Structure 1
């Protein structure tokens, strides 16, 4: 578990992190360089779920060396499936990271949500529902790993 005490705002305790795959931690079905190391460090404190419609069919192979649990579902049910996963995990103990339109629903119920600007772009649905917007996945994962960054961004 990771605990973030945010002055003038709230305390957030995160046990689970749900992360979109394509466009967020992967480009064209391949993990972005440097992500494996950051996920490995993060997995020491929280359980990580990779939520994806697995467009390229590569999530299991790409994540096989990581301490993560892939959660796959049909692309036509991506938004609702991601939201249901957070509800199953108790959304009050979840952080999420994504970039797509289908990530907006999970962002609206997570205790902490981070939208990532990647080479695929960033959906306005994420922008409207995210707590934090990060310039790339490396920054997003480091925000979770370095609690002072969240405190600086979200304090009142």
Structure 2
């Protein structure tokens, strides 16, 4: 678990990190270089989940061997399906990272929502509800490998 008491933001006790796949962890279905190493490091402290519609059908192969739980969403609308999954874990114990419009509900209701902008860009709807906007997935994951960054970004 990652636990922080952030002045002006509140106490975070993150047990689950929920990640979108396409556009967040992957570009054109392929895992972004360096992300696997960061996931392995994070999985020592928190449970890592990957949510995806798996549009390109590569998620399970690309994440093979990594300590993640993969959940293929099939419900429509996708934003509600992702939020349902986060709610099943307990929103107050989840940090979520995504880039798309279909990530906006999980970003809004999680204890911590992080929108990332990468090569696929980022939905403005996701950015508006996120607590943090990161330049890319490596920077977003780095907030958890170096939690003091969360403190310096979120404190009031």
Pairwise same-fold verdict (TM > 0.5)? yes
- Secondary structure of the 2:5 match is strand
1:97 shift after superposition:
0.2
- Secondary structure of the 2:77 match is helix
Give yes or no for contact 2:107–2:113 (8 Å, CA) kept in 1.
yes
Residue equivalent to 2:110: 110
Q: What whole-Å deviation, never above 9, does each CA across 1:56-98 have from its counterpart, x for those lacking one? A: 1011111111000111023743211110001000000000000
Does 2:45 correspond to 1:45? Answer: yes
Give yes or no for contact 1:52–1:78 (8 Å, CA) kept in 2.
no
- Secondary structure of the 2:127 match is helix
Residue equivalent to 1:149: 149
Number of residues paired by the alignment? 156
Map 1:129-144 to 2 at 5 A: 129-144=129-144
Unmatched 5+ residue regions in structure 2? Answer: none
- TM-score, structure 2 as length reference: 0.97
Aligned structure 1 segments of 4 or more residues deviating by more than 3 angstroms = none
Give yes or no for contact 1:21–1:59 (8 Å, CA) kept in 2.
yes
Q: What whole-Å deviation, never above 9, does each CA across 1:97-154 have from its counterpart, x for those lacking one? A: 0000000010111000110001111101111110000000000000122111010011
Does 2:31 correspond to 1:31? Answer: yes
- Secondary structure of the 1:85 match is helix
Residue equivalent to 1:62: 62
Alpha-carbon distance in 2 for matches of 1:132, 1:2? 17
Give yes or no for contact 2:108–2:129 (8 Å, CA) kept in 1.
yes
Give yes or no for contact 2:101–2:125 (8 Å, CA) kept in 1.
yes
Alpha-carbon distance in 1 for matches of 2:65, 2:124? 33
- TM-score, structure 1 as length reference: 0.97
